[in-house]
Amino acid sequence: MDHHNNHYKSSIDWENIIQDIYTEKYNYTDNLDEIHGLLNTNLISHNDKIFYDNIPIFGVNDRQSIFVKDYYNYYDKYSVITDTYTKFINDTIKPIFNEDKLVVQKTPNIRFHLPNNSNIGKRQTDPSEDIIGLHYDNEFNHPIEEYNIILSITDMFDTNSLYYESYPNSNIEYDSYENLKLEKNHIWIGYLNQCKHYNKINHTGKTRISMDFRVIPFSKYKDSNRFSVTSKCKFMIDDYYILI
C-alpha cells in the first residue's frame, strides 16, 4: 500500500445504492445530505424522532438511529449491498493493498451524522463537551493489524466529519487533530486502531453519511479469540470477518 496517499476514488457509485434504501422506504429522492428533513414529516415515528433530542451514549444507543436500522433491514432483505461490497473490495480495495486476499469486516457499518448531533455517542472519559466519543479501536479488542476504510456517501467536512490524530500516541492537543475532508464516493484509509479519533456536534447543516469497515492483509492475519464489544463476534474469518 502507498502510505503517502490515503485518499482514493470509489469505482462504484455508492451514493445511488444507499439512496435506494431510503427511496424504497420513504420515497425519498432529495439529496442524502438533507435526509434529516424526514424528521419533520410523519413518515418517521415519534419515538424515532426523539432519539435525536439528545446526544447518544457511546456503545449504548449510538446505533439506534432509525436511518441506521433502515440500512440493516435493507441489508438483510436484499443481497445488493453484500454483492456490491464484494465487487468493491475486489475492484477498488485489493489493488490499493496489492494483496490477492483481504480479510474484511463482514458487514460494513453505516454512519449518519445529523445536524446538531453526533453519530457516535458520548463517553464518560471525554475530556470536554466539544469532544464526543474519543477512542481508538484497539481499546475494544480490535486486532492491531487492522486498517480502517471510510467511504463517503455524502461530502465529509468540518464538524460533520471526524477528527483524528495522524499517528499513535501523538499527545497533540485534541483541537489540533486532523479533520477528515472527503468528497462523496471517495475513500480514506487510516489506522484508527491506534490513532485516537472523535466527533463534534455537527454545525454544518448537512447530514454526513458514510460507510466504514476494517481490513487486514491476509498475509498479516492471525486468528483471534477476542470478542468484538459491539457485535459480540469473534475477530475471526467467518465470524466478524470474511475472506475476499
Q: What's residue 225's pLDDT?
A: 74
The pLDDT profile of the chain, 244 residues, written as one tens digit per residue, is: 555 568 999 999 999 999 999 999 999 999 999 999 999 999 999 999 999 999 999 988 888 999 999 999 999 999 999 999 999 999 999 999 998 999 999 999 999 999 999 999 999 999 999 999 999 999 988 999 999 999 999 999 999 999 999 999 999 999 999 999 999 999 999 999 999 999 999 999 999 999 999 999 999 998 877 787 676 788 899 988 999 9
Q: What's residue 124's pLDDT?
A: 96
Which residues, in sequence order, are CB contacts of 16 under 8 Å at separation 6+? none
Spatial contact of 224 and 233, defined as CB atoms under 8 Å apart: no
- Domains of the chain plus CATH, in order, are 7-243 (2.60.120)
Q: What's residue 2's pLDDT?
A: 53
Q: What's residue 59's pLDDT?
A: 85
pTM of the complete model: 0.95
Among residues 105, 78, 60, the alpha carbon closest in space to that of 20 is found at: 78
Q: What's residue 4's pLDDT?
A: 54
DSSP letter assigned to residue 38: G
3-state secondary structure of 1: coil
